[in-house]
A and B are shown apart, each in its own frame.
Chain A
Amino acid sequence: MKLIIAIIQPHRLEQVKEQLYKADVHLITVNEVLGHGRQKGVTEVYRGFKETGNLLRKVRLEIAVNDNFVEPTIKAIIKGAQTGEIGDGKIFVVPLEECVRIRTAEKGSEAIG
């Protein structure tokens, strides 16, 4: 089991969701987060006062999957989120020790899907 964490542009969320559905991945958690990468944030101007290094709005997805779903999920996220511009985001894949479905107390691979 793996936990896939993806940071994407907020305006690509709809496309990413669409691609995930096509790959038969339906269970996701979404957060609004702030952060920046190499572009070092944005500059905003308030009454002529320039503020540099402001954190950018991003969307963070969390998807827990069985091993055979890892590649399809990554592909779906890239397909939905890629624009080729700086700031498209990152995907992190981390090992997942356990997964429990609270409703039934099922564990492991059964509980994920």
Chain B
Amino acid sequence: MRRNRRWILAAALMVAMVNLAAFAEDQSAAVSTPALKIDTGDTAWVLISTGLVMLMTPGLAFFYGGLVRRKNVLGVLMQCFIALAALSVQWVLFGYSLSFSPGNWFIGSLKWIGLNGVGFEPYVAYSATIPHQAFMIFQAMFAVITPALILGAFAERMKFSAYLVFSLLWATFVYDPLAHMVWGQGGWLRELGVADFAGGTVVHINAGIAALVTAIVIGKRKCYDKHPTPPHNLPFSVLGAALLWFGWFGFNAGSALAANGLATNALVVTNTAGAMAALTWAFLDWRFNGNPTMLGTISGAVAGLAAITPAAGFVGVGAALLIGTVASILCFAAVGTIKHKFGYDDSLDAFGVHGISGIWGTLATGLFATKAINAVGPNGLLAGNPRQFTIQLIAVVVTVVYVLVVTLVIYKVVDLIIGVRVVEVDEAIGLDLTQHNERAYTMLE
């Protein structure tokens, strides 16, 4: 019975997608605006950056995969990989249109559904020197990784079917509107003048708050109070963190949407903040826990990289050092103390690392932004513009509240229809065998 219902759901989804695609194809022929000059260097850099950001999702899979128990590693890898597949499709069908087509203050229209009207000519409101489709596919990779970031919160205990439906709904009703409000033409936070270079609000606060909500409502893992679960393969996590760092150059420097000085600045401050945060966490570990740990050092790197994300195109290297340092201090406190005090099981610290550093980075942008780095960007508080800090604060609050409420609603709906959490015995056996009927490691061959 349950199985039937699942099939019907899947079939309905497929039919809807095929119809949409056919509809889009009908109208995709007619796009042309007066020829704008495409810059080959800019285009090449954005296409390469797309590849760099794409690699972050499998990187994240290994980062998270190494941290779970061996019986759940395929479950995590699969959830990341299917995000790459499902959300790539969602994006070209209607996600990009909802996020970036000119719409109202809250959400885009359906004008660009199926990439209708999204061609090879530049779309000046976003990027004047690269094909519109290059911008679209670069943004697709952001839409892919953001829902995947959340899964660290409910790792080792969510049904795969529920995850898939949750991710698609979340991308559609949380990510797409938020991306529109902050980055889309007509979006009210964009009009308000929020400075979010590469996704402090849209990606990191967004995923971090969704992580906190889902971690709390899904409840702790059964083992959580009885015995702790050490990472099953830390070298995987180190590999994953290294791939994230590498991909982050595309994430932040690619967000300049041009191969120029601003992109270079973004890359330099990104590397600096990640490095400084990794160093800071290692020393915090040393001081407070006795040893500098590998897990701490990579957690620090990710915290610093996430924190610099909104600021990368607006601040210089001095601010990057400070942003990285403070990011590690805040996240170190969040995952080491606050989480245990409140007792929620954010299993892989998606909120503790991404949420906290996203909030810090977005506020820090309001402090340290300077026109000396980016002439078309804003000045921050320290450059004599306190208003920018207020705008950043508003953006943080709006993001937190919106994500919190809508994520909760989506979770409850999915829980009602499919049931989000695996049954207790399946949790004990592990997601690899119960959700995918495979195991990651053989004992004897």
Contact = CB atoms under 8 A, between A and B. Distances in A.
A95 interface: no
Contacts of A49: 228, 336, 340
B288 A46 contact: no
Contacts of A50: 289
Contacts of B293: 45-46
Interface in A20-66: 44-51, 54
Contacts of A45: 285, 289-291, 293
A47 B288 CA distance: 11
Nearest to B333: A48
A46 B337 contact: no
Contact of A51 (B230, B288, B336): B230
Interface string B350-367: 000000000000000000
Contact of A48 (B230, B231, B289): B289
Interface string B79-111: 000000000000000000000000000000000
A48 B288 contact: yes
B401 to A, nearest CB: 28
Question: Secondary structure of the A side of the interface?
Answer: strand
A46 B340 contact: no
Contacts of B290: 45
A47 B336 contact: yes
User: What bracket does the count of chain A residues touching chain B fall in?
Assistant: under 10
B296 interface: yes
Nearest to A45: B289
A43 to B, nearest CB: 9
B228 A48 contact: no
A81 B290 CA distance: 29
A24 to B, nearest CB: 33
A23 to B, nearest CB: 33
Contacts of B231: 46
A46 B230 contact: yes
Contacts of A48: 285, 288-289, 332, 335-337
A47 B349 CA distance: 9
B231 to A, nearest CB: 7
Contacts of B335: 47-48
B299 interface: yes
Contacts of B291: 45
A48 B299 CA distance: 12
A47 B228 contact: no
Interface string B321-345: 0000000000010011100100000
B162 interface: no
B337 A51 contact: no
A44 B299 CA distance: 17
Nearest to B353: A47
Nearest to A47: B335
A58 B289 CA distance: 25
B295 interface: yes
B31 to A, nearest CB: 50
Contact of B295 (A47, A51, A54): A47
A44 B227 CA distance: 13
B240 to A, nearest CB: 15
Interface string B283-325: 0010011110101100100000000000000000000000000
A67 B230 CA distance: 44
Nearest to B336: A48
Contacts of B285: 45, 48
A46 B337 CA distance: 12
Contacts of B332: 48
B349 A51 contact: no
A13 B340 CA distance: 40
A40 to B, nearest CB: 15
Among A44, A45, A46, A47, find the residue whose CB has the most chain B CB atoms closer than 10 A.
A47
A51 B289 CA distance: 12
A51 B299 contact: no
Contacts of B295: 46-47
A51 B295 CA distance: 14
B296 A51 contact: no
Nearest to B67: A46
Contacts of A51: 228, 230
A50 B289 CA distance: 9
Contacts of B336: 47-49
A21 to B, nearest CB: 30
A111 to B, nearest CB: 26
Nearest to B352: A47
Nearest to B332: A48
Given A48-B288, A49-B340, 13 more contacts: A45-B290, A45-B293, A46-B228, A46-B295, A47-B295, A47-B299, A48-B285, A48-B289, A48-B335, A48-B336, A48-B337, A49-B228, A54-B230
Interface of A: 44-51, 54
Shortest beta-carbon contacts, A-B, top 10? A48-B336, A45-B289, A51-B228, A47-B335, A46-B295, A46-B230, A47-B336, A48-B289, A47-B295, A47-B299
7 contacts: A46-B293, A47-B295, A47-B299, A48-B332, A48-B336, A49-B228, A49-B336
